[in-house]
Amino acid sequence: FTGLDNFKTALTSGNLWPSIVATVLITALAVILSLLFGLLFAVLLDRQFRGRALARTLMITPFLIMPAAASLIWKYSMFDTNIGMLNWLTRTLGLPVISWGTEHPLATVVIVLTWQFTPFMMLILLAGLQGQDKAILEAAQVDGAGTWRTFTWITLPHLRMYIEIGVLLGSVIILQVFDPIAILTKGTGGTKTLAYLLYERAFIGLDVGEAAAYGVVTVILTIIVATIALRTLFKVFMAGGSR
């Protein structure tokens, strides 16, 4: 019986706080970028055009792929220095080859997560756009409001509840991701999140006691974040119901 020694080691070893920072940074960047791209695609898919149903189906596809499979696809088909499409493009343009996993590990993980979760945000925002009262938009056009002013003054306030829901749910899901980091970077370059730190201590370092302490700390932090998220989500729904 070691008492609180494992917790003391977890809190003083210098590994926990960098992992918390990496987790927050990756989650924030992935959520913000996927939200922006999701909003763009939702606005485009809200319009009437030929083949819209097929376009929606294709746009949803990245979110349906298993995270491990998506990470492997990006690692070898896109980021590989020899056969990757991104480096093929850089060679075609006469630019130097980029080793994404070692030179830009944080960007590599964020790109894959953004690609995967953009459809998730798009679906939530598209539901909000389709629930918008068309009579209000027509009245704005009659009053002479342009497309940009209509979007910023009418559409965006209407989407506020859907944006908050997307950010909260996306943050909770992305906080738990493990596959992209394990496959693409192995926790190097500031990408060692809490999920990967637990795996590293338990299955690579074989220090199950310290890994269990990290697990308890992670559970406590997750409960705090989940509680704040659920309370915020409840307030969002109550505000939406009152409107």
Taking only the tens place, the pLDDT of each residue in 172-195 is 888 888 889 999 988 888 888 888
Q: What is the C-alpha to C-alpha distance for residues 196 and 209, in angstroms, rounded to an integer?
A: 16
As a whole number of angstroms, the distance between CA 235 and CA 229 comes to 10
Write out pLDDT tens, residues 180-236. 999 998 888 888 888 888 888 888 877 788 788 888 877 887 777 777 767 776 675
Q: What CA–CA distance (Å, rounded) separates 101 from 20?
A: 21
For 190, which DSSP code? T
> What is the structure's pLDDT at 26?
92
CATH topology of domain 5-242: MetI-like fold (1.10.3720)
Cα–Cα distance list, 235 to 32, 121, 172, 239 (Å):
21, 20, 17, 6
Q: Are 80 and 91 in contact (CB under 8 A)?
A: no
Domain ranges of the chain: 5-242
On the question of pLDDT at 123 being above 70, the answer is yes
Burial degree of 39 (CB within 10 A; 0-12, 13-18, 19+)? buried
Q: pLDDT, tens digit, for every residue of 37-95?
A: 999 999 888 888 888 888 888 888 888 888 899 999 999 989 888 888 988 998 888 88
Question: What is the pTM (predicted TM-score) of this model?
Answer: 0.85
